[in-house]
Chains A and B, each alone.
Chain A
Amino acid sequence: MKAYFGRRYTISASHRLHADTLTVEENLATYGKCNNPNGHGHNYVVEVLVGGSVDPETGMVINLAALDEVVRTKVIERFDHTNLNLDPLFLNRVPTTENLCREVFALLKDALPAGELERVRMEETENNFFECSSE
């Protein structure tokens, strides 16, 4: 029987939204205050949803401690208290929360057993969030 297990984590990071292919004026028009030259930061919430059958011996879809370990090593240690623009993933890509969500999904998908990762939701503030699934 298929069920889903979800877990929320927090990462604090800074970023600046700026596209090298746009002019100064275009960047400002596109990104507004998110284009501030010295950047700004957020407390991001990463919500990880794993789907699978419930193991009859443990009653679990996935062991919480195992999921925590994957998220800690692949995502939290990589991005928490960092400047996202300096991460190699964002050298040529703007670290919007859409792109961050997609990269986190890819990092976790590779590290979890095949087919288990259902969705990643990345909340940038209380009022906006982005979701990525394997579609």
Chain B
Amino acid sequence: MIYLTRRATFSASHYYWNPAWTAEKNEQVFGRCARRAGHGHNYTLEVTVAGEPDTVTGFVVDLKWLRDVIDREVLTAWDHRHLNLDVPEFAVTESTATIPTTENLAIAAWRRLQSAVSAANGAQLSRVRIYETPEIFAEFRGEP
């Protein structure tokens, strides 16, 4: 099994806010990340695909194809957006919200990529890692 990884970057804004909590509790748990005007990051997305190299091309998947999948499934929806306000999986209602933490971004990116990647030539999505800064990252491996 070979693991192939492609990186992409996107820039987006967000804030952390649980609508079921008081303002005080949000500020206590999330600190500066709870400021409602939001803030932003340059994110790096790493997509790892596992598979056997094709006997003719030597590719697990074509990197240009993977770049296009990442562009279409993730970057079009997330790059230069406000994650809380513009992205459906983080939409806020009066009482619920999936907070756009780096952990939840990794899970959401996995869900956006999985079907497109697994349609390709027997390859499987193995890992999605998202760096919020060069020092902070989260990853999801499809585990329950």
Point out residues on A near B: beta carbons under 8 Å: 1-9, 54, 57-61, 63-65
Chain A contact surface mostly = mixed
**CB-defined contacts of B140 to chain A, threshold 8 Å:** 1, 3-4
Are A7 and B98 in contact (CB-based, < 8 A)?
no
Interface residues on B, range: 20 to 34
Are A2 and B143 in contact (CB-based, < 8 A)?
yes
Are A5 and B102 in contact (CB-based, < 8 A)?
yes
Q: A2-B143, A3-B103, A3-B107 are in contact. Are A61 and B134 (CB under 8 A)?
A: no
**B103 in complex: contacting residue of A8, A9, A57, A60, CB < 8 Å:** A60
Find the B residue at minimum CB distance from A45: B135
Q: A58-B18, A63-B29, A65-B31 are in contact. Are A7 and B104 (CB under 8 A)?
A: no
User: For B98, B134, B137, which residue has the most chain A Cβ atoms within 10 angstroms?
Assistant: B137
- State the CA gap A64–B129 with chains docked (Å): 17
Closest chain-B Cβ to A71's Cβ sits at a distance in Å of: 12
B99 proximal to A (CB < 8 A):
yes
